Amino acid sequence: MTDQELQTLVEELSLEKFNVPFLHEVYFNKRLKTTGGRYLLHSHNIELNPKSYEVFGIEELRGIILHELCHYHLHIRGMGYKHRDVDFRTLLKKVGAPRFCSTIEENKKQLNTNLHIYECLSCQQQYPRKKRMNIEKYKCGKCHGKLKKVIES
């Protein structure tokens, strides 16, 4: 799906479900990893995660679009557009939009993996790190002992 097709879909959904036109831009943003989409407060544009569409299909994308349109229309009207607001939750139910989108498992795995584990030679305190660490420069925070690398995956 191209950005132009996406723009057309959002404009149609806005008129169909909200009876109000969508007057700003919507586009795919490949940098989104943990969210299906986001509404930008200052520009009023909507960004969507293309991976959600690729993995879960058009129905999931429609749900994400409706969710973001709820933020959009409430914010434009000056009503409660945040997740915790009653106006937002009421509008979600009215248009049949999901409160949360499906989780993309491969992104979840990438974010939660610790690649390097260091251990103190004296007290065996372990330090999991996502980035490599210079063991000549750093010492154990507990006993100030020397560190060694245990696991690198």
Catalytic residue among 68, 105, 136, 152: 68
Does residue 72 contact residue 89 with C-beta atoms inside 8 Å? Answer: no
Residue 68 falls in the annotated catalytic set: yes
* DSSP assignment string, the chain: --HHHHHHHHHHHIIIIISS---S-EEE-TT--S-SEEE-TTT--EEE-HHHHHHH-HHHHHHHHHHHHHHHHHHHHTS--STT-HHHHHHHHHHT--SSPPP-HHHHHHHH---EEEEETTT--EEEESS---TTT---TTT---EEEEEE-
How many CB atoms are closer than 10 A to CB 65?
25
Residues annotated as catalytic (active site), given as ranges: 68
